[in-house]
Structure 1
Amino acid sequence: MRPDRAWVLLGSGRRLNLVDPQPDDWQDMDLAVGLSRTYRWGGHSHWDLPLSVAQHSLLVLVLRQQMQPHQPLTPGEALRELLHDADEGLLGFDPISPLKPHLGDDFAALTQRLQHAIAVRYRLPDWSHEDYLLHKRADHLAAASEALHVAGWARDAVHEMLGIHMSPVMTDPMPCLEGCLPWQPWAPRRAAAVFLAKLRELVGADSLEAPADLTAAIEREATLARLGAAFSRLPPAKQRRCACPVTGNGLTDTFVSVETEDISQQHIEGVIVGGDRDDDGQWVLDGQFTVFTTDEELIRVSGWGCHVEIQ
């Protein structure tokens, strides 16, 4: 084994060199899946599932915005909050705090290289001193709340044993997913899908009315679940016309918004179910493709005559 190389084969088929990571070594879905399968609190939880770093990252984003409710974060600031632990998803490891001092300088240097690659890839703004203090306050508040509501620590132990000198939030500030209770850890597939939806919403956005709000990401997943159920009810002959069936989950469904650029100004939204793909397996959006729309219709789209955005 060569000590200067530590390749990880990702779900997309790309290889990430953990020793020398490059900003284009992974796809957004790889990061979302990695974070959803990397667990907080050593994987321990008094729920049926552990808490993922993906869900924690979304919680920190929401808490950070609540600290300055009348001063919306910019998309870049929101993205910086969302990705504050992204290196853990690429590494697949979130060491508990008491362990970190024992991991040594080499591990710290490795995580710093991952963080740099992430910052370059997503063009994250540098932290100001004030912003970093607010971020750490949100992160500690999330930790105190998770310790009480997820990991099962007593309130006094959060202060005395964990050394977190903040009072936990009692009301879950996150929107509840359908079928979930407040503070309940999400299943990895759902956590990855919501994280990915929020990441795609923020990447490349010049302006958003509420960059820290999760409503659109949650509603998108609910829409996909509805479309997955509707697709399953289509006659078998129609389903067979689609190269890629609708699954009802954002990790496998490509949800797009399509606006024609001619005088008709038609607008549709839905999941791509057929068309050409590029070498990375992504849909070719400037050619012809088929969409199963939110009106539960199969429509053929000519991408070169439309403005197409992946939602």
Structure 2
Amino acid sequence: MPSIQKPLTKRAWVRLPSGRRLNLLDPTPFDFEADDLALGAARTVRWGGHSVWEWPLSVAQHSLTVLAIGEAEAPRPLTAAQKLAFLLHDASECLGVCFDPISPLKPFLGEGYRQLDQALQTAVHRRFGLPADLPPAWKKPIKTADKRAAAAEAIFVAGWSLAECREALGIRAAPLSADPLTPIYGGLPWEPWPARIAAERFGAALAGLAGSMP
């Protein structure tokens, strides 16, 4: 008599540093701590992990750069919620999967990856009191700041030339001339931080903004 196969349960568990466990296929806002997100962001690298420096660039440092650009270029002071939206714009990449695919690769990862990314981002937004889907008026400046950061990172971190950025990478945004994080944290402009430092700085910014939410 053939054995009866039980249906597969929809689960993909990961154990987080806090001890909590997160089902990547069904994430909720209660499955992780802020420190899990900060450490995940610090350990998730951009640009395929390649860098002209000793360390690769983390999503944590990139997110702080995007926030700094958003604050500097906003026509009026940002609310705590808007600042959080800038800081957490890549948060889905930092929980469990810790994978930041380069943009041209994303379409090849398929609909399943898109749904996973969206579910994780929604869980993060709900955890910190943000709308599941940000208002269009918020999304545009975040995207602009993200592109501005990427243009500078491509040159000063990944080692592409300005011409290569435009011709090979298709990045049209003008790169920043100065690192917006240097006046805040010191250090060499555009030098990636070790994961421990990136986690501390991202975590402090997250705690400060989350504590300012109504």
Higher helix share: 2
Number of residue pairs matched by the alignment: 205
- The answer on 1:34 being equivalent to 2:40 is yes
Code of the residue aligned with 2:42 in structure 1: it is S
The residue correspondences of 1:61-140 to structure 2 (distance < 5 A) are 61-68=67-74, 71-90=76-95, 91-125=97-131, 126-140=133-147
Deviations 1:224-282 (A, max 9, x none): xxxxxxxxxxxxxxxxxxxxxxxxxxxxxxxxxxxxxxxxxxxxxxxxxxxxxxxxxxx
Instruction: Give yes or no for contact 2:91–2:121 (8 Å, CA) kept in 1.
Output: yes
CA RMSD of aligned residues (A): 1.6
Q: Which has the higher contact order (CA 8 A, sep 6+)?
A: 2
- The answer on 1:172 being equivalent to 2:179 is yes
Q: Tell me which of 195, 206, 219 is aligned to 2:202.
A: 195
Code of the residue aligned with 1:48 in structure 2: it is E
Instruction: Give yes or no for contact 2:148–2:175 (8 Å, CA) kept in 1.
Output: yes
Separation in 2, partners of 1:168, 1:80: 22
- The answer on 1:52 being equivalent to 2:58 is yes
TM-fit CA distance, 1:134? 1.2
Secondary structure at 1:151 match in 2: coil
Higher strand share: 1
Structure 2 unaligned spans of 5+: 1-7
Separation in 1, partners of 2:196, 2:79: 28
Separation in 1, partners of 2:162, 2:61: 22
Code of the residue aligned with 1:18 in structure 2: it is L
- The answer on 1:144 being equivalent to 2:169 is no
Could you list the runs of 4 or more consecutive aligned residues of structure 1 that deviate by over 4 angstroms after TM superposition? none
What is residue 5 of structure 2 aligned with on the other side? none
TM-fit CA distance, 1:3? 5.8
Q: Percent identity?
A: 50
What is residue 161 of structure 1 aligned with on the other side? 168
Deviations 1:157-213 (A, max 9, x none): 1111111111111211113645x3110000000000000001000113148xxxxxx
Q: Tell me which of 180, 185, 191 is aligned to 1:184.
A: 191
- The answer on 1:24 being equivalent to 2:39 is no
The structure that has the greater radius of gyration is 1
Structure 1 unaligned spans of 5+: 208-311
